């Protein structure tokens, strides 16, 4: 029996940003394993579509409208889930957006949205749920969406990269806090590589600088043509979480290569290195 089938065969899973992309893939997998899945998304229609798909497959799910950029919304979600179910076994803070454009050209509202969704949504998801999880006294698992982007640089995607570096640091500290307090709560940094999601879809960047559309289109096409199958990646994430691994990768070889380059950059204190992909996109 696969490790995730043992650990996540029951209980309640709460997954944010689960109306599409990695969140939806994780929600579907949790449903297949036998969990009751709370599908949270700012878009209720897409959340309901994910929940309906889980139910159609014989699983248990419910859709909840949640804007993770608003801390009070996560407080409301935590209260609702614990009042209704009494526990949370799996919490995945997944909700996130990609932002493209040079740092000084991205509008202030887009900067704030990126920080509030990608970073503060993770932080306040933990803040809202963990006290209740601790009070329940039950073992639980938390996954925060990091990225291979948390270990590198990409000009033109600065807003996103900044949030993922921060989520990674937050997850590392959270792991140690659980250890320090001797709590039965396992923390994982979920590190997607290149996966087939809709995060670079052109319609998601309508409030970005006009010249960013070429960058967004190039990334969309690359992920579409070369990205990993979404459901396979999500299966791997939950398997690794079930093994209490801090690092949960979709493509370990890609992660190792990028992390290795990061380690050399830090130990050598060299100048930041321009990614070949950035030069290629700028030339197109």
User: Catalytic site residue 102?
Assistant: no
- ∠ CA 134-140-145, nearest 5°, is 110
Query: Cα torsion at 4, 8, 14, 16 (round to 10°)?
Result: 10
Two tokens, residue 276 = 């070949």
Rounded to whole angstroms, how far apart are CA atoms 239 and 237?
A: 6
Burial class (CB in 10 A: 0-12, 13-18, 19+), 57: exposed
Residue 234's nearest CA partner among 60, 53, 1, 4 is 4
Two tokens, residue 250 = 């979709």
Two tokens, residue 176 = 């140690």
List for the chain the helix, strand, coil content (%; round to 5): 55, 15, 30
* Residue among 102, 160, 175, 226 flagged as catalytic: 160
Residue 19's nearest CA partner among 58, 57, 61, 60 is 61
Rounded to whole angstroms, how far apart are CA atoms 183 and 44?
A: 34
Dihedral of alpha carbons 112, 117, 119, 125, sign: positive
- Which residues participate in catalysis according to the annotation? 160
């Amino acid at each position: 029996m696969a490790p995730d089938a043992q650990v996540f065969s029951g209980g309640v899973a709460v997954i944010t940003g689960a109306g599409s992309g990695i969140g939806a893939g994780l929600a579907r997998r949790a449903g297949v394993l036998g969990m009751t899945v709370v599908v949270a998304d700012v878009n209720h229609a897409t959340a309901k579509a994910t929940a309906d798909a889980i139910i159609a497959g014989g699983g248990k799910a419910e859709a909840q409208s949640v804007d993770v950029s608003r801390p009070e919304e996560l407080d409301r979600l935590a209260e609702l889930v614990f009042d209704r179910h009494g526990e949370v076994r799996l919490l995945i803070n997944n909700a996130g957006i990609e932002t493209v454009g040079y740092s000084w050209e991205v509008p202030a509202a887009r900067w704030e949205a990126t920080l509030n969704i990608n970073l503060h949504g993770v932080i306040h998801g933990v803040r809202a749920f963990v006290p209740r999880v601790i009070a329940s006294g039950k073992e639980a698992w938390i996954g925060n969406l990091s990225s291979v982007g948390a270990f590198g640089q990409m000009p033109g995607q600065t807003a996103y990269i900044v949030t993922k570096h921060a989520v990674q640091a937050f997850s590392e500290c959270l792991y140690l806090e659980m250890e320090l307090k001797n709590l039965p709560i396992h923390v994982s940094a979920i590190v997607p590589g290149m996966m087939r999601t809709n995060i670079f879809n052109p319609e998601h960047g309508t409030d970005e600088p006009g010249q960013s559309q070429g960058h967004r289109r190039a990334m969309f096409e690359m992920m579409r043509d070369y990205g990993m199958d979404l459901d396979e990646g999500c299966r791997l994430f939950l398997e690794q979480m079930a093994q209490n691994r801090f690092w949960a990768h979709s493509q370990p070889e890609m992660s190792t290569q990028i992390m290795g380059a990061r380690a050399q950059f830090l130990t050598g204190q060299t100048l930041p290195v321009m990614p070949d992909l950035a030069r290629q996109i700028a030339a197109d």
